[in-house]
Amino acid sequence: MKPMRTLLLLLLLGAAACSDEKKETPPIEPWPETGMEDATYINNGEIQLGVDMNRGGAVFHFSEVGTKRNLLNHCDEGRFMQQSYYGEADGSIWNTQPWVWNPIQGGGWQGQKAEVTEQQVEQSSLRVTTIPVHWAAGTPVTECRMIESISLEGRIAHIRYSFSNRGTGARDHPATHQEVPAVFVDWDLKNYVFYDGDKPWTGGELKSEVPGRLDLTGRNEERSRTEHWAAYVDDTGWGIGVYTPGTELSTTYRFGSGPGGPMSGACSYFAPIRTFAVTEGLAFTYDVYMMIGTVEELRAAFYDLHEKRYSE
């Protein structure tokens, strides 16, 4: 090859490389929630998740780039998406009601805050260790630790929750329903969508129901989810879905009459439920996958996760 032609080729290749560099999409700036600008956010350009380090690192924010709308509710320390466990009756009182041993990630019902003891935060992942607080008593449950590891993978937030009851003062508690995890979402998402048939993962017909209001009925409603996922969506079929492998039963309610929004007293709630005892020495870990989209998009994504999980 002649020197002049070689030089021309190099110049052309350099110009093409510069052109490619200029075409790179700049990273999307985070969109902090109004009033929560100082909270901790992770973002991958498609979805954003926020945790409140002043309240145990509990997940208070989940949104997608298209709307930038937070679909979770964090009105008080008991809301969020968070870990919560139950044990024996211990003489504690919540809002005049006799309560039980109940360490939760966010804090106590009178505003006590759970302490984050360790945190590691990257652009699209984080890990938080928390000393939980007794929901009714408002005191630190020092014998327990909660760990929350989160990674954003495309449109899905993968959360691995871990809980241990191994510290000084740890004791055995009776078996009971446990929230894995507690999920509080925007009141405007009223339709609870799930599959409870006997042929899961085959595309069978879904159910859509509006759970009763706890403030009117005074009770939760249990529903079976044989595909281990459910979603709260609006009347267009768009909203938030949560897949919890290995957990079929769920408990649900709605509270209040609106308006919606992340700080509203009104909310829609559900929790996947497992029944087990918190015993001395317990170490318990489980996975949660959360996504925003239409019911069809949510189901397709959770089907893919199910197939990958059980084909490995």
- Per residue of the chain (312 residues), give pLDDT as tens: 444 444 444 444 454 444 444 455 566 788 999 999 999 999 999 999 999 999 999 999 999 999 999 999 999 999 999 999 999 999 999 999 999 999 999 999 999 999 999 999 999 999 999 999 999 999 999 999 999 999 999 999 999 999 999 999 999 999 999 999 999 999 999 999 999 999 999 999 999 999 999 999 999 999 999 999 999 999 999 999 999 999 999 999 999 999 999 999 999 999 999 999 999 999 999 999 999 999 999 999 999 999 988 766
Model pTM? 0.91
Cβ contact 167:145 at 8 Å = yes
CA–CA separation, 230 and 240 (whole Å): 9
First-to-last C-alpha distance (Å) of the chain: 52
Cβ contact 270:230 at 8 Å = yes
Phi first, then psi, for residue 254 (nearest 5°) are -120, 155
Nearest to 270 by CA among 153, 190, 183: 183
Longest CA pairwise span in the chain (Å)? 91
Which helix (H) or strand (E) element contains residue 216? helix 214-217
Cβ contact 84:179 at 8 Å = yes
Six-digit token pair at 113?
Answer: 């805050």
Residues 6+ apart with CB under 8 A from 294: 233, 236, 237, 238
In the DSSP assignment, the letter for residue 55 is: G
Residue with tokens 């490995």: 312
Question: What does the pLDDT look like over 120-149, one tens digit per residue?
Answer: 999 999 999 999 999 999 999 999 999 999
Six-digit token pair at 80?
Answer: 């969020």
Residues 6+ apart with CB under 8 A from 19: none
C-alpha distances (whole Å) from 246 to each of 101, 111, 136, 273 are 25, 33, 29, 10
Q: Select 38-311's CATH number: 1.10.287.130, 2.70.98.10, 2.60.40.3950, 3.40.50.620.
A: 2.70.98.10
Residue with tokens 């780039």: 65
CA–CA separation, 39 and 12 (whole Å): 47
